[in-house]
Chains A and B, each alone.
Chain A
Amino acid sequence: MGMGKDIFEITVNGLKLVVIFLMMVQAVPILVWLERRGSAFIQNRLGPNRVGPLGLMQLLADAVKFLTKENFVPDTAKPLLYYAAPVFALIPGAVAFSAIPMSTPIQIGVFEMFGQSWGPYTFLVQGYDIGVGIVFILGVSSLAAYTLLMAGWGSGNKYSLMGALRASAQTISYELALGLSIVGVIMMYGTFNLTDMTMMQQGPLNFSFMGYTVSSPYLPNWGIFFQPLAALLFFTTTFAESNRLPFDLAEGESELVAGFHTEYGGFKFNMFFIGEYGHMMIASGLMALFFFGGFGIPFVSVVELQEWAAGVTATATGASALVAGLHFLSFMVKFSFFLWVFIWVRWTLPRFRYDQLMDFGWKTLLPWALANTILTAFIIYAASL
């Protein structure tokens, strides 16, 4: 099953998955707070600042309020789908996010516990290492369209249904440009594996073109310098995938009340929110991974860091933990930056009109993604001559 070879490893791997999921869930209130304070900052307001220092206790107050809301199911709703939709909203985000490598593995040496010696282990700082990482993440996140359709149809409300149809038509339209913008990235790295991609982006900028080797000590060896167009297209489409402004046509308040979650309130609404932020987190993680070196620290390769850590700490376990911790910090810095960009853009750009949205997806992003694919293939082929 790939979970481990003895009970200790299986338990740790299972706990790791649960911890990653709970981390995602816990990050949502913090992001909501950041979004409210950030929007206030952008719009020259104060934002929530009464409950606790900097309004931080607002998160707890919100959670309590969500929990005390009465449990409401409209008469026209189909109860099974109505309840299944918010639960299902959590799944694609968490399952896909668990496949993103967040750091180098932690090596644990032989140790004694319960009167038995437990062999050396290698624990990855990610939920599971999927060989075909990108394909898996694309496939799992494409299942998110069912959440919208289930919620929209299960509510038995025409605004919900219209919102769900709009949202799913939008999601699938932008999935094309999303899938196509990655083709250039795959071609460049020659692998689907996310850890391998990160490992290829170590050290300073360095590549060979038509027999010449070009290197620059001033720039890191990040994907953005090889695939700038793909980065732009990918980041744009992920906004549409997570149904956020300027692409939040699904819940265009002025036309559709609140889109597919019109009839949801309290904790069920909160779960849709967690799903939306889960998509943001996948997008930010993948953005950091494909184009900004993943967990790698700029200019420092993993091997160099391991050599340095071996000199600092006494045990191999401690050294690998130190290296993993530093890489995790590096990943989190990049990850948080892109999450902030998501919030920043939301409060900067106005909403598209529906025909503009569809035109943008089919007639602008898709041709440019095709052009990027052709150009990348041509350059890779020309560089090999």
Chain B
Amino acid sequence: MTADAFLFWFLAIVTLVSGLSVILNSNPIYSALCLAMTMVGVSALFVTLNAYFIAGVQLIVYAGAVMVLFVMVIMLFDLKKDLQTFARGMFTGGVKLASVGLIAGLVVGAIKSAELFTEKVADNPVTTGNGMESTKALGQILFTKYIFGFEALGVLLLVIAVGAVALARSKGGTHEQ
């Protein structure tokens, strides 16, 4: 086994084990911390694909921002009661099975349709370099071909910010005035 293959398998196992412990842990805080570990593992897997900037973004945005929010919010609200109401019973079991089936169908469908709708460019477009070339290529394509998507994303983020503020101020929060 080459060093690269060993690294890939090591990272894949770390990522999958932490991903599994997200759903097998009954304590939401440990689950959230394991999810953060999964994000870090995915970031390292991006590095093995030579996608350095994406790996950094995965680390900054997902591991450093989104998961911090999750952990903070779970720590704020004691979720023990909700856990017990949702953990047992025939109805809950049915819902669980249905959601697993739905998600599996979505994943398979996404993989199938990805083959249908995207043209395959090359097997491995970026294999060398220290990350600068691929980041510059990303910038080139983002600010020419996908410029409208980029601007629309700015508007979308603005809408999310407004929505979050509105939700936090609505009645029933912890900060009633």
Contact = CB atoms under 8 A, between A and B. Distances in A.
Contacts of A132: 52-53, 56, 130-132, 135
**Size band of the interface chain A makes with B:** 20 to 34
Interface stretch (A27-35, A149-157, A208-216, A320-328): A149-157
A142 interface: yes
B4 interface: yes
Contacts, number: 82
Interface in A124-143: 129-132, 135-136, 138-140, 142-143
B159 interface: no
B22 interface: no
A221 interface: no
Interface stretch (B65-73, B103-111, B113-121, B148-156): B65-73
A139 B129 contact: no
A140 B56 CA distance: 9
Contacts of B68: 142, 145-146, 149, 168, 172
Given A168-B68, A193-B132, A149 B63 contact: no
A180 interface: no
Chain B interface helix/strand/loop/mixed: helix
Given A136-B56, A165-B72, A143 B63 contact: yes
A85 to B, nearest CB: 11
A252 B75 CA distance: 21
A142 B130 contact: no
Q: Interface SS of chain A: helix, strand, loop or mixed? A: helix
A288 to B, nearest CB: 22
Interface string A188-222: 00011100000000000000000000000000000
A11 to B, nearest CB: 15
A164 B40 CA distance: 22
A142 B4 contact: no
A314 interface: no
Given A131-B132, A172-B65, A193-B132, A138 B60 contact: yes
Nearest to B3: A1
B42 interface: no
Contacts of B72: 149, 165, 168-169
A90 interface: no
Interface of A: 1, 81, 129-132, 135-136, 138-140, 142-143, 145-146, 149-150, 152-153, 161, 164-165, 168-169, 172, 175, 179, 191-193
- Nearest first, the 4 closest Cβ-Cβ pairs linking A and B are A142-B64, A131-B130, A139-B59, A135-B56
